[in-house]
Chains A and B, each alone.
Chain A
Amino acid sequence: MADSEAILAPQEPELRHHFDDSAQQLEASTLGMWVFLVTEVMFFGGMFGAYIVYRNMYPEAFASTSHFMNVTIGAINTGVLIFSSFTMVLAVRSAQLRQKKALIAFLILTLILGCVFLSLKYVEYHEKWVDHHIPGPGFQYADPRYFHQAQILFYLYFAMTGMHAIHMIVGAGLLITLIVMAARNRFSSGWYTPVEMIGLYWHFVDIVWIFLFPLLYLIGHTQ
């Protein structure tokens, strides 16, 4: 074992023993991340499937519930997330150019935007709580015709946006990790795979919201 370790001793500090070179390692990480994102698509896909079923089953109830969605906050949050994707891209670019200060600055900016999104989400959830729109024993709905159907739709709303928010929180944790790593000069050698991979994850979570916003807030809102 000691011998083979000597033979395989990596030339670059971040190259792990079972890869031949860092190009192979990067390709493996990238493919792995994309496959993971495919599983995430399927994960959210289950809920989107349920959404499609109930939307077709209860179109009037859907139109009715969309009036209780806070489109203003939703629209602001959409802008916040799109802008955070932009700052994430700039962070990856700074890592490529080995600009440590810019990298940390853009990561912190991305993190702040993520927190803004989550704070606004909290405001929205609080509104729902005040209006008794949380599914469960305390659920109330203005239009008695749609009481049960609206409850199912709010259930889907909370399941989908809640699962998205959990992904945002995980992403925030990953960003903090990146900031610590960057501060400790882990990316000074030009190796920046984690920044790129977490960037992919961040963009994916943004894209989920790009689908959620029109589906949950906008469709049927003008009826």
Chain B
Amino acid sequence: MNATLPFAQTETPINYLNADYGWKSWLFATDHKRIALLYLFSITAFFFVGGAFAVAMRINLLTPEGIFSHDTYNKLFTMHGIIMVFFFLVPSIPATLGNFLVPMMIGARDLAFPRINLLSWYIYIVGGIFTLTAVFQGGVDTGWTFYAPFSSSYSNTHVILAALGIFVSGFSSILTGLNFIVTIHKMRAPGMTWNRLPLFIWGHYATSLIQVLGTPVIAITMVLLGLERVLHAGIFDPTLGGDPILFQHLFWFYSHPAVYIMILPGMAVISEIVACFSRKAIFGYGFVAYSSIAIAVFSFIVWGHHLFVSGQSMYASMVFSFFSFLVAIPSAIKVFNWTATMYKGSISYETPMLYAFGFMGLFTIGGLTGLFLATMAIDVHVTDTYFVIAHFHYVMVGGMVMAYMGGIHFWFPKISGRLYPEGWAKFAALLVFAGFNLTFFPQFILGYQGMPRRYAHYPPEFQVLNVMSTAGASILALGYLIPMIYLAWAWRYGPKSPQNPWNAKGLEWEQSPTPPPTFNFEHQPVVTEPAYNYSGEEQEVKLG
């Protein structure tokens, strides 16, 4: 209905990309769209560094004897975890797609604090430099969890440098969250009521709450850990009267909510994609919106399920177990509502939708196996096995990375003004799905049979499943490399995109040129209809 071109093909109007070309216009950019691109490139770089460590681990696990020493292997999985968690997954969707789209979706000209937004990127880069320096100086071997007293007293690797990197980059996450909260509260266009916000915004709002409330705690935890490593005062060392469980509590008080920092933006993207490619309003808008907030709230009262075998009080464990089950409710609401949205929709199978299908299936498996782990008796059996690895990779890679890829494809025309090659993209999406399952499904079986994680060597009877997993990892790596190549190609040579190639609803598609001008809109947008009004009816969505 509005796929018409807003401008002639022959001349390119001024947009945020061609407004200025100098390097200063990028490195001192305060435009949220340019900062989103700065993040996009740096995050992609970290993704491939973290991925390289994963590939090295999988190669080592091809044979029971492995090829790396135990020390090297310890460093490989640690650096994989630190880089992927703190430098890819946490900032991935919020700092790139969120940065680009939050102001556009609510009809604002920029985020509330553009210079703080730029500052957050620089902080991220400084944190990354610290962590990469730790890598190049020989790495860290504590696991990404930094459990004391090993990390504080016994490890002979660059713990302080890596902890400093996490401390610094945390402030980038805090500032992004702070910026989003203020922007969503104060910068909405006329008519953009809370009930009309796209679910992408609700998801990012919930994410920002966790970033703002959780990240400062990991920051101070890293400070206490670093000081303890220098002073050896014994605050986390049981031989000196300290309590190592306290470190685990402080660490997981952030790091469990951080899991929802990683998945909520993914859910936010999926809501947009599912509605667009089913040509229907999201089923139960209010439930999906409030389930994001519910997940954010529950996320802060479940951290103790990481401590079931730590010697924590049994009664505390029971409470944490109960709350962990509760998280399944809002998560399931989302999956059910996406499914109900598709029911009787006119579904089409473009690449973003393929990733959304992948997300829904894999996230469901990841979520349901999470219930196994919330059950104390089963958790004791599978703690520190590949079952746990498979579970959270189904959520983080099968869920979040799928959503990230889907979102990148969905908004690629908006960001670059070009169309990507659909055939290659579908091929890569299928490759990712197949490769992912081949990599991680065998790990469920391995874990259930008792293969512990974080070991360089393993008994020969586990070899077949490990070879399958490594084979899948190679396919998965190819599935991530192909989009890198064709997206880079399409950015320069792809056919120009019309303003709204998907016929999608939302201010960013309907009221802003593609690619957008520096101030996003040519006129102040005014919102007159609920989100996802694909049926075109003038109906107001009721919350709750």
Contact = CB atoms under 8 A, between A and B. Distances in A.
Contacts of B140: none
Contacts of A54: 243
Interface in B222-254: 223-224, 227-228, 230-235, 240-243, 246, 249-250, 253
A68 interface: no
A136 B174 contact: no
Interface string A92-105: 00000000000000
A2 B194 CA distance: 32
A47 interface: yes
A43 B220 contact: yes
Nearest to A24: B186
Interface stretch (B63-71, B207-215, B309-317, B359-367): B207-215
A62 to B, nearest CB: 13
B246 A58 contact: no
B425 to A, nearest CB: 32
A31 B181 contact: yes
B220 A47 contact: yes
Given A50-B246, A155-B227, A8 B519 contact: yes
Nearest to B250: A46
Interface string A162-199: 01000000000000000000000000000000000000
Contacts of B108: 18
B220 to A, nearest CB: 4
A32 B220 contact: no
B24 interface: no
Contacts of A40: 216
A182 B178 CA distance: 28
A149 B249 CA distance: 20
A35 B518 contact: no
Contact of A42 (B185, B187, B214, B241): B214
A214 interface: no
Contacts of A42: 212-214, 216-217
A35 B186 contact: no
B141 interface: no
B221 interface: yes
A137 B232 contact: yes
B219 interface: yes
Contact of B219 (A1, A43, A139, A159): A43
Given A152-B233, A155-B227, A32 B216 contact: no
Contacts of B246: 50, 53
B240 A152 contact: yes
A163 B219 CA distance: 12
Nearest to B249: A49
B112 A39 contact: no
Nearest to B222: A46
Contacts of B220: 43-44, 46-47, 163
What's the interface size class on B, roughly? 35 or more
**Most chain-B CB neighbours within 10 Å: which of A28, A36, A40, A54?**
A28
A135 interface: yes
B216 A151 contact: no
B246 to A, nearest CB: 5
Interface in A20-36: 24, 27-28, 31-32, 35-36
A155 B233 contact: yes
B14 interface: yes
B224 A28 contact: no
A129 to B, nearest CB: 14
Given A4-B522, A47-B224, A32 B112 contact: yes
Given A1-B14, A42-B216, A152 B234 contact: yes
- Report whether over half of chain B's contact residues are helix, strand or loop; otherwise say mixed: helix
A40 B174 CA distance: 11
A173 B519 CA distance: 34
Interface in B499-541: 517-519, 522
Contact of B235 (A32, A39, A44, A152): A152
A4 B518 contact: yes
A213 to B, nearest CB: 20
B295 to A, nearest CB: 19
Interface in A40-97: 40, 42-47, 49-50, 53-54, 57-58
A150 to B, nearest CB: 9
A38 interface: yes
A128 to B, nearest CB: 13
Given A1-B19, A4-B522, A32-B182, A155 B235 contact: yes
B252 to A, nearest CB: 12
B287 interface: no
Interface string B105-120: 0001111111000000
A152 B241 contact: yes
Given A27-B186, A155-B233, A46 B224 contact: yes
Interface string B1-15: 000000000000010
Nearest to B246: A53
Given A18-B519, A35-B182, A151 B212 contact: no
B522 A58 contact: no
**Of listed B182, B185, B240, residue having the most chain A CB within 10 A:** B182
A156 B235 contact: yes
B278 to A, nearest CB: 34
Contacts of A126: none
B208 to A, nearest CB: 9
A16 B109 CA distance: 11
Interface in B398-457: none
Contacts of B223: 159, 163
Contacts of A16: 114
Given A28-B186, A151-B234, A53 B243 contact: yes
Given A39-B212, A58-B241, A148-B240, 4 more contacts: A47-B224, A50-B224, A152-B235, A163-B223
Interface of A: 1, 4, 8, 16-19, 24, 27-28, 31-32, 35-36, 38-40, 42-47, 49-50, 53-54, 57-58, 135-137, 139, 148-149, 151-152, 154-156, 159, 163
Instruction: Please list the 9 inter-chain residue pairs (A to B) with the smallest Cβ-Cβ separation, ordered nearest first.
Output: A135-B233, A43-B216, A46-B220, A148-B241, A18-B110, A18-B109, A42-B216, A155-B233, A136-B231
8 contacts: A18-B111, A24-B187, A31-B181, A39-B216, A42-B214, A53-B243, A156-B235, A159-B224
Interface of B: 14, 19, 103, 108-114, 174, 178-179, 181-183, 185-187, 212-217, 219-221, 223-224, 227-228, 230-235, 240-243, 246, 249-250, 253, 517-519, 522
